[in-house]
Amino acid sequence: MSKLITNSPEFVSKLLRSSKMPAFTLYGSRGSTNTDRVRLTLAEGGFTDFEFVPVNLQRGEQKVGKPFLLEDDAAIPRVSKFIIADAAALSPKKT
Amino acid sequence: MKRHPWGKVPVVTFPDGFTLYESRAICKYFARKYSFPLLPSDSDVEAAALFDQAQSTEMLYFAEPAGRIGYEKFVKRFMGLPTDDAVVSNALSALKLFFDVAERLLQHNNYMAGKDFTLVDIYYIPLIRRLFACGYGDVILSRRAVSAWWDLCMNRPAIEKMIATDKGAGAAARK
């Protein structure tokens, strides 16, 4: 096994890439100007190696312990790709 | 609450446990840690001081009134609370005075902290976009140098791309 790995640099780099953790986790909110300040900085720096965890401010997720502390990872969605709504998306749904 | 003592976002956490809150502090930390070309060089003491000056100006004279307008006209709307028009009117007066001065400064400098685009320019963007969304874009557009600065910021490819992506995601979320 070790022979296979050492003889195959491609395999090693693939393994390293797939097991690599993101550099950090950014907790933010859709429609938050403060969150966007940080996202704009990362965009300008061309930095994409991070995980974004949306926190729902309207549900008070930032205030209560459980979801925000991630004791239960399923409690809040984790996304690797940004799904950020703009201002209008926050308005009450027209039914 | 464990990550942010005031229970706010954004917060950033690293695998080693290092945690940071306050958007401007996070931005500055990232710029330093990952060498984003968005800060003056540490060896240029005067440029660093002018950066700090611009940063304080943004926080105290711009973000305060702009944030009040955003709260009254945007946040409160989603909470179903009535807008306090007196607060908006006072904040708008303060913003106009602020941009009158910024107009004069930007006639000599392309950007808020001097000749180069820096983090301070980024700091302005979200709240100015919020002002536009609330119908107060004229505060920017009616001032020639401020408007030219705003165009420079909005025409940066990375910023343009992020805003376009968010708009697409927002449109999809409304469907």
Together in a domain, B64 and B120: yes
Interface-testing mutation among A36, A68, A82, A90, with chain B (most B C-beta atoms within 10 A): A36
Give the contacts of B37 (CB within 8 A, at least 6 positions apart): none
Together in a domain, B14 and B61: no
Q: Are B170 and A58 inside 8 Å of each other by CB?
A: no
pLDDT in tens, B26-79: 999 999 999 999 999 989 999 999 999 999 999 999 999 999 999 999 999 888
Give the contacts of A93 (CB within 8 A, at least 6 positions apart): B174
Long-range CB contacts (within 8 A, 24+) of A73-80: A77/A53, A78/A51, A78/A53, A79/A51, A79/A52, A79/A53, A79/A54, A80/A22, A80/A51, A80/A52
Together in a domain, B61 and B119: yes
Together in a domain, B23 and B52: no
Phi, psi of B52 (to 5 degrees): -60, -40
pLDDT tens, N- to C-terminus, chain A (95 residues): 444 444 555 655 555 555 578 999 999 998 899 999 999 999 999 999 999 999 976 665 545 443 333 323 333 444 433 333 333 334 443 33
Task: Provide the residue range defining the domain that includes B31.
Answer: 1-36
- CATH for B155: 1.20.1050.10
Q: Are B38 and A58 inside 8 Å of each other by CB?
A: no
Strand order in the sheet with B11-13: A51-54, A25-28, B11-13, B19-21
3-state DSSP call for residue A28? strand
Together in a domain, B77 and B157: yes
Q: Are A34 and B170 inside 8 Å of each other by CB?
A: no
Measured in whole angstroms, the distance separating CA B170 from the mean position of its chain's CA atoms is: 20
Give the integer Cα–Cα distance in Å for B153 and B83: 30
Give the integer Cα–Cα distance in Å for B88 and B35: 39
- ipTM value, please give it: 0.94
Instruction: Find the distance separating the first CA and the last CA of chain A, reported in whole Å.
Output: 60
pLDDT of residue A51: 96
Together in a domain, B70 and B112: yes
Instruction: Find the distance separating the first CA and the last CA of chain B, reported in whole Å.
Output: 33
pLDDT of residue A95: 34
Together in a domain, B167 and B103: yes
pLDDT in tens, B86-131: 999 999 999 999 999 999 999 999 999 999 999 999 999 999 999 9
Within a 10 A sphere around the Cβ of B5, how many other Cβ atoms? 8
Together in a domain, B28 and B87: no
